[in-house]
């Protein structure tokens, strides 16, 4: 039944290993008790029945509990009923309900057979658990939540699911120890990759995640520097910010030399356009300004403002005590962009 439930797809195996190990112990205990009853001799059997009734009751209770655990395990891998994550309480987690909830939510996030909304809802449920206390965060990370949330962030079936994954990761990154777990799971390349090429709503959440990780762990700042996270942050921050404002040159009377230059430039315009098109891939073009430009222009002012605020805060936290990130901000147009924003914008930004 368990094989049929997972349909041969890779499944979240933390509860499987734990529950099957306990079920194996219960079966071994029952087998040992049955072997004791097979021994010959009336006196032996009388002694066994008299002194072993408590063992029988305890063994039967263990078998019933293992059977209930297995039924619960099958239920969290079976989305046939169309329901979301299973939040019932198996006997194995009777003393710690949070464990069963974490297992169920992570199994839902892992399962590609679940509805997209269910996977996003499971990520939101993990956020609520993480916000309750640090112990819940520790359980989520110990039970393998980091790689599953990073996979959902990178390859999520919808923007809402990816946003929920980014928010869940940000809620977990609340201390150096927890951020270290994310770094071991190679979170930085995934985060920078999503930040570079995603819709603006998701980019705002990912920029907030960068800020959260960098604020709690200096090592995270160095890894973000190695992945050049500053460049997409500056590019997103400078979107629609006029960095180059040409000043009108003083007019001079035309000369024969300038007229000849103008005629020559007009004659070679087409060849120049072709040459620029051919060599476009070799020039250092700001990819982030040109990609998704139409989509960004159609976004609401609130989304654009939230993204810029998140990027500014991320640059702030990345530059704290990190010379390499500060240098990258200076090497790009980061300082010019920040000065323009200070000059033009109001409020939180």
List, as one string, the DSSP characters of 165-216: HHHHHHHH--SHHHHHHHHHTTHHHHHHHHHHSS-HHHHHHHHHHHHHHHHH
Predicted TM-score (pTM) of this structure: 0.77
pLDDT of residue 331: 86
pLDDT of residue 54: 82
3-state helix, strand, coil in the chain (%, to 5): 75, 0, 25
pLDDT of residue 47: 58
pLDDT of residue 323: 92
pLDDT of residue 325: 92
Q: Which of 315, 292, 80 is nearest to 197 (CA)?
A: 292
With a CB cutoff of 8 Å and minimum separation 6, the contacts of 315 are 230, 233, 234, 237, 325, 329, 334, 338
With a CB cutoff of 8 Å and minimum separation 6, the contacts of 125 are 85, 101, 105
Alpha carbon distance 215, 317 (integer Å): 6
pLDDT of residue 300: 82
With a CB cutoff of 8 Å and minimum separation 6, the contacts of 349 are 305, 308, 309, 312, 341
Which residues in the chain land under pLDDT 70?
A: 6-10, 39-52, 79-86, 113, 244-298
pLDDT of residue 111: 81
Check if the beta carbon of residue 193 is closer than 8 Å to that of residue 232: no
Check if the beta carbon of residue 26 is closer than 8 Å to that of residue 63: yes
As given in the structure block, the two tokens for residue 293 are 């430009």
pLDDT of residue 201: 92
């Amino acid at each position: 039944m368990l094989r049929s439930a997972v349909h041969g797809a890779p499944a979240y195996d933390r509860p499987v290993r734990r529950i099957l190990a306990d079920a194996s112990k219960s079966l071994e205990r029952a087998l040992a008790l049955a072997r004791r009853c097979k021994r010959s001799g009336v006196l032996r059997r009388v002694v066994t029945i008299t002194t072993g009734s408590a063992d029988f009751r305890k063994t039967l209770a263990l078998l019933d509990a293992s059977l209930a655990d297995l039924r619960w395990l099958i239920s969290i891998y079976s989305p046939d009923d169309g329901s979301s994550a299973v939040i019932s309480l198996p006997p194995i987690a009777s003393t710690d309900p949070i464990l069963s909830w974490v297992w169920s939510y992570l199994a839902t996030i892992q399962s590609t057979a679940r509805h997209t909304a269910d996977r996003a809802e499971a990520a939101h449920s993990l956020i609520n658990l993480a916000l309750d206390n640090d112990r819940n965060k520790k359980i989520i990370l110990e039970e393998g939540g980091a790689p599953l949330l990073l996979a959902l962030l990178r390859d999520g079936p919808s923007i809402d699911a990816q946003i929920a994954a980014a928010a869940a990761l940000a809620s977990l990154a609340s201390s150096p120890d927890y951020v270290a777990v994310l770094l071991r799971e190679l979170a930085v390349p995934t985060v920078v990759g999503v930040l570079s090429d995603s819709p603006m709503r998701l980019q705002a959440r990912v920029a907030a995640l960068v800020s959260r990780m960098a604020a709690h762990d200096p090592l995270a700042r160095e890894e973000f520097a190695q992945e050049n996270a500053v460049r997409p942050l500056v590019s997103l921050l400078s979107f629609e910010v006029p960095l180059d404002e040409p000043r009108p040159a003083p007019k001079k009377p035309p000369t024969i030399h300038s007229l000849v230059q103008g005629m020559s430039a007009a004659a070679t315009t087409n060849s120049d356009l072709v040459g620029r098109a051919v060599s476009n891939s070799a020039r250092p073009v700001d990819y982030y300004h040109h990609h998704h430009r139409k989509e960004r222009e159609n976004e609401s002012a609130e989304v654009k403002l939230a993204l810029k605020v998140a990027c500014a805060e991320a640059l702030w936290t990345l530059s704290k005590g990190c010379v390499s990130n500060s240098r990258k901000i200076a090497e790009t147009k980061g300082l010019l962009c920040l000065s323009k924003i200070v000059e033009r914008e109001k409020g939180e930004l």
